[in-house]
Amino acid sequence: MRYRVTLIEGDGIGPEVTAATAEVLEAAGAPIEWEKMPGGLRAFEAFGEPMPRPTLDSILRNKVGLKGPLATPKGGGYRSANVALRKTLDLFVGWRPVRSLPSLVTRHHGVDLVVLRENTQDLYAGIEHEITPGTVVTLKVSTAEAGRRIAAWAFEYARTQGRRRVTVVHKRSVLPRTDGAFVDAFYDVGANYPFIQQDDVSLDDLSLGLVQEPERFDVLLLQNLYGDIISDLAAGLVGGLGVVPGANVGKHVAVFEAVHGTAPDIAGQGKANPLAVLMSAVLMLDHMGERRVADRVRASIDHTLAGPIRTGDLGGRAGTAEFTAALIDNLPR
């Protein structure tokens, strides 16, 4: 069986890192046919839309997409294509597994946690207005329905992936209604999962704990704003945005993506590190049930990072092509 997957190359270094990823996957024997579709700045220039309808339709048809980074022009032009993608396809879960790589030296070892972010509500609902001249407000939206939906996803995820604990994060002390509702929905749904440990932690306690002892966390469930910040902080614990995968997942559709941006400073120079997109593609293979191919690529990543060939952002001198060739060479025979 071959899977058809929508591929959005994206802007800046996007075409370089997605091409490198496709090469490694092909060499690893991933049964994938890519359907390349436009997205981001190049799509906006060509079609007047950063996320054209045919691209969305392709993802809906294929159920799975892989996406390079998309540029969002500062000061306007169009609204973020990433936000459009999440909203239109109702990709309500931001999924970011964060694991220490055995061969990458960082301050902490043995980090193995998962950040799950509610993608559709909270302050990012974008309801902002000026109530009197000089006074502006933003609404923090929290519905019980969205809270229950993501809590159910988190517990099912923990159950199927053999995770032992899910922790909900909040600032209930200052936001008893909104954050309180999110925590209540979590425990309500959690009652159906008595075999999974469940607890809650305030955002400030979590921040301290992550910096001091990140090894003690397992699955973390957060609202939109907290999740946005903590997912990047967590990536920093294991080596940064270049070495963590990410995905946005809905009821029927999942889009896997690099969590870094378009890196305009190095775009087109053959220097970009393809690991973040490649690791997202590995997560995609896991999601499809292609565990064997995913494990082969994971083994190659570990093996490659243990050697001297690395891109500049990881302290090496290799370009994208040399690094990609090493990843292919190091695939288990």
Which residues lie near ligand NAI (CB under 6 A)?
A: 13, 17, 69-72, 82, 242, 257, 260-266, 272-273, 276, 313
113 or 258: CB nearest ligand NAI: 258
CA–CA separation, 181 and 199 (whole Å): 15
Q: How far is the CB of 297 from ligand NAI (least distance, A)?
A: 17
Residue nearest to ligand NAI (CB): 261
Per-residue exposure over 179-207, b if at least 16 CB sit within 10 Å of its own CB, e if not: bebbbbbbeebbeebeebebebbebeebb
* 8 A C-beta contact, residue 25 and residue 297: yes
Q: How far is the CB of 70 from ligand NAI (least distance, A)?
A: 4
32 or 258: CB nearest ligand NAI: 258
172 or 310: CB nearest ligand NAI: 310
17 or 288: CB nearest ligand NAI: 17
Q: How far is the CB of 311 from ligand NAI (least distance, A)?
A: 6
Nearest to 257 by CA among 268, 269, 241, 270: 241
Q: How far is the CB of 33 from ligand NAI (least distance, A)?
A: 24
Rg (alpha carbons) of the chain, rounded to whole number: 20
178 or 262: CB nearest ligand NAI: 262
Q: How far is the CB of 313 from ligand NAI (least distance, A)?
A: 4
77 or 332: CB nearest ligand NAI: 77
Q: How far is the CB of 288 from ligand NAI (least distance, A)?
A: 21
